[in-house]
Each structure stands twice: as C-alpha cells, then as structure tokens.
C-alpha cells in the first residue's frame, strides 16, 4: 500500500527544538475500489453519512459511499445486528448524527474495508501531522543541563493506523531529502525504533500506535545541520 498525500507545513527544515509528540491525522479518507453496477467505474468515496437501522434492541450501521462517476451509492457495513447494550452512547450518537470524526475513523479502518471486500487506495488519502510538546513524567525541574549533544525524542502517535511510510513522513516534516535522511540514520544522528527502516509503515503489521524516534543534534551545529554537502536550517 502506498501512503497518501501529506499536507506540508509552512516551514522548511523544522527539527524539533524539544521532545515532541507527532500525531498523524487523516484529513481526507482514501477512495475505495469496488465495482459499480451502474457505470463500472469502480471507485467510491465516503459521503461522511451513515445509514442506521434500530430494531428490537439491535443496531445495523452502514457508512454510505458514492460512486465518483455516476453517484450511485454503496453502503459499507459497520455493525450488523449488534446488541445496543454493547455500543457506547457516544458511539451510537456519532452514527445517528453523522459525526464527521466517527465517519472518518470508519473510512480509514482497514479491517472494516477488508471485511467489506473494498480495496483502499491509500495514495488518495490526505493526512497532516499535529506537533505538540511532549511533557514526560519525571522531567528535570531545574531546567536542562548543559551538554554538547542535544537529544530530541519524537513520539509518533498513529491512532488511525494509517500506512504512512516513515521516510516520507520525516521528509515532509523536516524538509529533508531521502538521501539526507538516510545519511542521518547511517551516522547515528537519527535513531529509529528497533527493526524499523525509513521504509517502515507504522500503521501496518501489528498496528503500532506509538513509537519513539531520537534526533542527536550538536550545539556546534548552530542553527543548521550539515548532511554531506547540504546544509539545512532549523530552529535551535
């Protein structure tokens, strides 16, 4: 599976100045491939709306898709004859009120798509990275100590299990080329989780939600980092 389109931030070479959390969030769900009986175009996109049927304490829920060409609809099954007592009030309300977040999560759920025999075209998905400070328990109260090498940890949160290649994600956020990222990793200044490479997709396999990367930056770098013959500016 190919990853989707990353909404690039309005900055270039933005290395983390401190420990950060990077939350990968979908903006637009992937288009799905499924044969359309109306025009045979075979491509459907989510309408963001649900069809809900409640009967005798049981709930059926579908997410409604629309053919990109003829607009014929197809319903992707979310729940089938499910006991309403097993569904939270918040989740049931999300289905009944066509909550955008609930629809987005459903449309990005690879297990639901597979169960409905729909192929997700992940390259059509749009996503963004929300960055925030990472305040860890037990942090130094007297401020950081002086050191020649500054270590910045980045915690990746991929709660939607999006199959985004880590190299592409870092390139978009840091403004680096693939060659530069490889050089950082080879030099030990970029440390990936055990078993990972720049081609790893955190959303696949065990559906890992949380992983930590480390950047080792020297104070002698000033406000730029040099990789081979290239120099990249960043806030320090």
The residue extents of the domains of the chain are 5-27+125-233, 30-121
Strands (E), the chain: 5-6, 20-28, 31-33, 43-55, 58-67, 73-83, 119-121, 126-133, 149-157, 190-191, 210-218, 224-227, 230-233
pLDDT at 217: 58
pLDDT at 176: 85
Angle at 206 between CA 89 and CA 164, to 5 degrees: 90
C-alpha to C-alpha distance for 78 and 105, rounded to whole angstroms: 11
pLDDT at 102: 96
Instruction: Give percent helix, percent strand, percent coil of the chain, each to the nearest 5.
Output: 20, 35, 40
- Any idea what DSSP says for residue 220? G
pLDDT at 3: 54
Strands (E), 139-186: 149-157
Q: Scanning the structure block, which residue is given the tokens 């401190």?
A: 18
Residue 52 neighbours by CB under 8 Å, 6+ apart: 59, 60, 61, 95, 96
pLDDT at 11: 40
**How big is the chain by its Cα radius of gyration, in Å?**
22
- 27: number of Cβ within 10 Å: 13
pTM of the full structure: 0.75
180-188 long-range CB contacts below 8 Å, 24 or more apart? 180/227, 180/228, 180/230, 180/232, 183/227, 183/228, 184/215, 184/227, 188/216
Which pairing describes strands 20-28 and 149-157: parallel, antiparallel, or unpaired?
parallel
Contact present, 134 and 215 (Cβ < 8 Å)? no
pLDDT at 62: 98
Q: Is the Cα torsion angle 28, 29, 33, 36 positive or negative in sign?
A: negative
Contact present, 22 and 173 (Cβ < 8 Å)? yes
One pLDDT digit (tens) per residue for the chain, 236 residues = 445 665 544 444 567 777 888 999 999 999 999 999 888 889 999 999 999 999 999 999 999 999 999 999 999 999 999 999 999 999 999 999 999 999 999 999 999 999 999 999 998 899 999 999 887 544 444 444 444 456 788 888 888 888 888 999 998 888 888 888 898 888 888 888 888 889 988 765 433 445 677 777 554 444 444 554 444 444 43
Q: Residue 199 has which token pair?
A: 């081609």
């Amino acid at each position: 599976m190919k990853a989707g389109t990353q909404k690039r931030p309005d900055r270039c070479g933005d290395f983390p100045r401190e420990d950060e959390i990077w939350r990968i969030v979908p903006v637009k769900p992937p288009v799905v491939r499924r044969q359309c009986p109306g025009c045979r175009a075979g491509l459907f996109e989510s309408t963001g709306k649900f069809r809900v049927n409640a009967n005798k304490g049981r709930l059926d829920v579908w997410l409604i898709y629309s053919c990109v060409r003829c607009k014929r609809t197809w319903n992707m099954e979310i729940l089938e004859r499910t006991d309403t007592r097993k569904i939270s009030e918040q989740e049931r309300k999300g289905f009944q009120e066509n909550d955008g977040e609930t629809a987005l999560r459903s449309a990005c759920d690879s297990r639901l798509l597979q169960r409905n025999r729909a192929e997700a075209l992940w390259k059509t998905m749009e996503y963004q990275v929300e960055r925030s400070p990472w305040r860890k328990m037990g942090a130094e109260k007297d401020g950081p100590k002086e050191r020649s090498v500054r270590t910045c940890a980045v915690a990746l949160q991929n709660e939607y299990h999006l199959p985004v290649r880590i190299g592409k994600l870092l390139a978009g956020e840091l403004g680096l080329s693939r060659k530069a990222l490889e050089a950082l990793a080879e030099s030990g200044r970029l440390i990936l989780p055990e078993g990972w490479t720049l081609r790893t997709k955190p959303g696949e396999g065990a559906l890992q939600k949380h992983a930590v990367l480390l950047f080792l930056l020297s104070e002698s770098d000033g406000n730029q980092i040099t990789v081979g013959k290239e120099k990249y500016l960043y806030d320090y």
